[in-house]
Amino acid sequence: MPVMNDLSSVTPLLAIETSCDDTACAILDSEGTILSQAVLSQESHAALGGVVPEIAARAHLEVLPQLVDLTLQRAQLSLQDIRYFAATIGPGLIGGLIVGSSYAKGLAIAQKKPFIGINHIEGHILTPRLPYALKKQEIESLTFPYLALLMSGGHCQCLLIEDIGAYRPLGRTIDDAAGEAFDKVAKMLGLGWPGGPALEALAQEGDPKSFPLPRPLKGREGCDFSFSGLKTAVARIIQPYGQQALPRLIAANIAASFQQAVSDIMEDRIEHALQMAPPVTTLVVAGGVAANKKLRATLNAVASRHNIAFSAPPLALCTDNAVMIGWAALERLRQGERPRDIALPPRPRWPLSERKVFSASLGQKTIAATEAML
C-alpha cells in the first residue's frame, strides 16, 4: 500500500464518535495534534442501570450539532476550514451509529469534502500510537508488530497488530465483555452505573483473598476470555443477603476479590497470547477498562517479564472519544487509502477482518457517483 507522508492537504480533520452513550467530536491536524475536542456523557442512563439504545440515539441527535459547533469554536475554525470528515460507522449501537455517521456525511457532502468511515475497535487499538499518547507515556514510538488487548463495556479481545489495516485476532470473549462484567458486579453491590470506577475504588478497602472466586478458562490453550461464570459466583455470594444492603466490608472484599480474579484471568490469557504471537515490540491495552490501575499494573508486569514495552492511552483517551476516530482516519490516509466510504452504511457488527473487504465491496457505479458528488 502506498504511504502518504504529507497529510497537510487533508487536515484539519473533524471526527465524530457516537457508537454508544458518549457523544464526541474532535479536530486534529496532520501530525495528530489535538486542536480541540469535546465529549458529552449521557447521564440519563444511570437511573436505568444501563444504556438504553433508543434514548442514547435521541440524545446524540439532540446535542451533536451544538457539540460540533463547540469543537470548531475551540479550534478557532469554521466548517469551511475542515478538509476531511470522519465518523464511527461500526461496531456499536445502530441508532447512535446512524446519527453520528449521517451527520458527518451530511457535513462532508455540504462542504464537498471527503468522508472516511472508521471502525470503533480500530480507533481504540491505534490510539496508543497517537503522538499525544506517546508523550504522556514518555515513549518515542510504537512500532509494529504489537499485541493489543481491548477491554471495554462492549468488547474484550486480543489482536496482533501487524500494520495499519492488518489485524490478526487471537482471542475474544465467549460471553460477557470485561467492562460489562465490572458493571454488572458493581450493580449487584449497589454501586450504580457505570460501575467500573466505583468498584475499583471500593476494592481498595477490601482483601482480594477474601473470596475464592473462579478464574474461567485460566490455564487453557488459546487466549479466549470468559466472565459469565465469575459474575455468577459473585451473585451466589450476595444471594443470602436478599434485599438487605451489604455491610461495607463484605462489599469491599467482594469487589477486591472480583478485581483480583479478573486481573489473574487477564494475566493468564495474555501470557498465552504472547506464546501464540510472533515476537512483538509492545503490549498495548486500550478501552475503558484499561483505566483500571490494578489491571494496568498486572499487564505491565507481564510485559516486563517478556522484555517488551507496555503502553496504554492516557486515562482520558481510554473511554470512547472522537480523538481516536480522527487518529485512525489519519493513519489510514497516511497509508495512502483513498476514501470511498460515504456510501457505507453503519454496521452494529463489523469485525476488523472485514475492513478491507467491506470497502472493496462497493460497486464501481456507487464509487463513481460518490466521487463525482465530492
Q: What is the pLDDT along the chain (374 residues), one digit of tens a residue?
A: 445 566 777 789 999 999 988 899 999 999 999 999 999 987 665 656 667 878 889 989 999 999 999 999 999 999 999 999 999 999 999 999 999 999 999 999 999 999 999 999 999 999 999 999 988 887 778 999 999 999 988 889 999 999 999 999 999 999 999 999 999 999 999 998 778 999 999 999 999 999 999 999 999 999 999 999 999 999 999 999 988 889 999 999 999 999 999 999 999 999 999 999 999 999 999 998 999 999 999 999 999 999 999 999 998 899 999 999 999 999 999 888 877 768 889 999 988 877 653 343 333 333 333 333 33
What is the rounded end-to-end Cα distance, in angstroms, of the chain?
Answer: 23
Q: What is the pLDDT of residue 99?
A: 96
DSSP 346: P
- Please write down the HEC assignment for all residues of 237-287: HHHHHCCCCCCHHHHHHHHHHHHHHHHHHHHHHHHHHHHHCCCCCEEEEEC
Beta-sheet strand order (sheet of 309-311)? 166-172, 156-163, 146-151, 282-286, 309-311
Beta-sheet strand order (sheet of 13-17)? 34-41, 22-28, 13-17, 84-90, 115-119
Q: What is the pLDDT of residue 373?
A: 35
Q: Which residue has the cell 495512502?
A: 336
The verdict on whether residue 45 carries a ligand-binding annotation is no
Beta strand pairing call for 84-90 and 115-119: parallel
The verdict on whether residue 257 carries a ligand-binding annotation is no
Domain 8-126+319-373 CATH (choose: 3.30.420.40, 3.30.565.10, 2.60.120.590, 3.40.50.880):
3.30.420.40
What radius of gyration, in Å, describes the C-alpha atoms of the chain?
21
Please give the CATH superfamily to which domain 139-312 belongs: ATPase, nucleotide binding domain (3.30.420.40)
Answer for the pair 186, 192: CB distance below 8 angstroms, yes or no.
Answer: yes
pTM of the model: 0.90
The verdict on whether residue 151 carries a ligand-binding annotation is yes
What is the CA 332 to chain-centroid distance, rounded? 17
Tell me which residue of 250, 18, 29 sits closest to 130, measured CA to CA: 29
The verdict on whether residue 120 carries a ligand-binding annotation is yes
The verdict on whether residue 124 carries a ligand-binding annotation is yes
Answer for the pair 189, 237: CB distance below 8 angstroms, yes or no.
Answer: no
How far apart, in whole angstroms, are the C-alpha atoms of residue 74 and residue 38? 9
The verdict on whether residue 196 carries a ligand-binding annotation is yes
Q: What is the pLDDT of residue 301?
A: 98
The verdict on whether residue 154 carries a ligand-binding annotation is yes
Q: What is the pLDDT of residue 355?
A: 66
The one-letter amino acid at 9: S
**Is 293 exposed, middle or buried (CB count within 10 Å of its CB: 0-12, 13-18, 19+)?**
exposed
Asked if the domains 8-126+319-373 and 139-312 are classified in one and the same CATH topology, the answer is: yes
The verdict on whether residue 183 carries a ligand-binding annotation is yes
Q: What is the pLDDT of residue 317?
A: 93
| Domain residue spans of the chain | 8-126+319-373, 139-312
Phi, psi of 48 (to 5 degrees): -100, -5
